[in-house]
Amino acid sequence: MYKELAKLVVYRNLEEDNLLFPLAELIRTFSSGSYDKADLLGRVYSQIHKLLDVATRYGFDRNLWHNYLTYLLISTETPFSITCEKVGACEGTVNNLVKNDFDVFKKLFDYDFSPLEKALDTDVFSLIENYRSVAKKKSRYNENISEKVRTLSAAIANAKDGEEIYRLVTDFYKAYGVGKLGLNKAFRIAGSGEEACLVPIANTSKLTFADLVGYEWQKAELIANTEAFIAGRPANNVLLFGDMGTGKSSSIKALINQYYDAGLRMIEIYKHQFKELSAVVSQIKSRNYRFIIYMDDLSFEEFETDYKYLKAIIEGGLEIQPDNILIYATSNRRHLINETWKDRQDVTNEGGIHKSDNMQEKLSLVNRFGCTIYYGQPDQQEYFRIVDTLAQRQGVKLAEEELHREAKRWELHHGGLSGRTAQQFINYLLGRQKETEDLL
């Protein structure tokens, strides 16, 4: 195995904590014939422990060895893999080197661990090659990565040679991309300054637009703008504003589930991180994805000035906003920045400063969102329609008259008429219904 890994060229710089090189080193020790059995067995168990940790994190199953090798192939960013995510497989001398690397991976896929198992009197490799994972909730691992790794792993295992693996892997790069940006739907920002980086959000909401009742023209306008963006046509930054609990944030979350396969990715950012926006933009502007920078519940008090960083990114700095990046924000305020009556007084008594200039400074932020969509509070009949739809979908067993009566009572004590209140009411009913069923 060690000699094979030494032949890698394009995929030589695997992630630092990968298992391949430590495993190859202990196999080389074994092949030398000069080793302490207990020590070597301990080293084997150490690497198997790391493999199981990765398998648990990503929900791998069946052949964990194959799953791990596949994960390395699709998570390792190289100039070759990044080019493939943009244009797919193409002609070039590098292909010969890549196919050589894939021949190495084919041998790793087919590696026979039985001599090592026999010498150390263990069946640990046989177990990981025929693994049955414990059933666990999908929220405990990254389902998106797990499915893709297991599917590609099975295809590579049946490949005849490096040429066929080349086709499978480059097709994957073209379809989904490579590395953390290709494998994950959404990210948040960690660190600051030069250390600012994107961290994957392992488990994102499963919301779809079908789950959101009502607000049809709002959803249609948001979808139309997003589809134009994904297709490379002109599109606008979007501000969703209006009453609380009306589905503004849910509408944006639904986008990532609907358009992930089309190359859409989402980055969640909080206003205290606006200083890091420039660093983040520089990391993603040349990648072959469409990024929505998502800001939830965006608003500023009079004393806060971080909005100026946002204004510069959207429209105002020397560098134009990259065409693969849009900003989508939600807010309960139409104007985002708290406006006071004194802002409307044209001149102060202190030095003749024009207050109207101050007000224009505040309003200029919202004007940088080319698409503004209003989500208003539903009336009672619309609220009942939302409740009826959610109750039917989620199996609430209650007559319509009683359902409406209880829904009205609930909203009077729990935040008023909104889609959020309706969903909370249905959750309450489902909890009581399940409790009753458990007692029977």
- DSSP sequence for 132-154: -PPP--GGGS-HHHHHHHHHHHH
pLDDT score of 336: 56
Sheet of 197-200: strand order equals: 197-200, 186-190, 264-268, 290-295, 325-331, 238-242, 371-375
The closest of 183, 167, 163, 149 to 69, measured between CA atoms, is 149
pLDDT of 334 above 70: no
pLDDT of 78 above 50: yes
In the chain, the percentage of residues whose pLDDT exceeds 70 is 84
For the record, the structure tokens of 253 come out as: 């979350």
When mean pLDDT is compared across 7-16, 208-217, 295-304, 389-398, the lowest value belongs to: 295-304
- 433/318: higher pLDDT: 433
Give the distance from CA 271 to its chain's centroid: 20
Q: Give the 3-state secondary structure of residue 51.
A: helix
For the record, the structure tokens of 235 come out as: 């599109």
Q: Which string of DSSP letters, residue by residue, matches 83-112?
A: HHHHH-S--STHHHHHHHHHHHHHHHHT--
pLDDT score of 307: 63
Backbone φ and ψ for 17, nearest 5 degrees, come out as -95, 25
The CA-CA-CA angle for residues 275, 281, 283, to 5°, reads 115
For the record, the structure tokens of 255 come out as: 């986008």
When mean pLDDT is compared across 103-112, 140-149, 285-294, 374-383, the lowest value belongs to: 140-149
440 C-beta neighbours (distance < 10 Å), count: 4
Give the distance from CA 254 to its chain's centroid: 12
Average pLDDT estimate for 278-287: 86
The mean pLDDT of the chain is 84
Over residues 24-53, the pLDDT tens digits come to: 899 999 998 898 999 999 999 999 999 999
How far apart are the two ends of the chain, measured CA to CA in Å? 60
Over residues 164-197, the pLDDT tens digits come to: 999 999 999 988 888 889 889 999 999 887 788 8
The closest of 269, 275, 343 to 306, measured between CA atoms, is 275
When mean pLDDT is compared across 70-84, 147-161, 299-313, the lowest value belongs to: 299-313
pLDDT of 242 above 50: yes
pLDDT score of 352: 46
pLDDT of 341 above 50: no
CA pair distance 175, 173, nearest whole angstrom: 6
Over residues 52-76, the pLDDT tens digits come to: 999 988 889 889 999 999 999 999 9
pTM above 0.85, yes or no: no
Average pLDDT estimate for 361-368: 63
Over residues 130-140, the pLDDT tens digits come to: 998 776 665 56
**Packing angle, helices 162-176 and 79-87, rounded to 10:** 60
Over residues 259-281, the pLDDT tens digits come to: 998 999 999 998 888 888 888 88
* Domain ranges (residues) in the chain: 2-183, 187-375, 380-439
Tally of helices (H runs) and strands (E runs) in the chain: 19, 7
In the chain, the percentage of residues whose pLDDT exceeds 90 is 44
pLDDT score of 202: 79
- Of the pLDDT bands very low, low, confident and very high (cuts 50, 70, 90), residue 303 is low
Q: Which CATH superfamily is domain 187-375 in?
A: P-loop containing nucleotide triphosphate hydrolases (3.40.50.300)
pLDDT score of 283: 87
- Find the largest Cα–Cα distance for the chain: 91
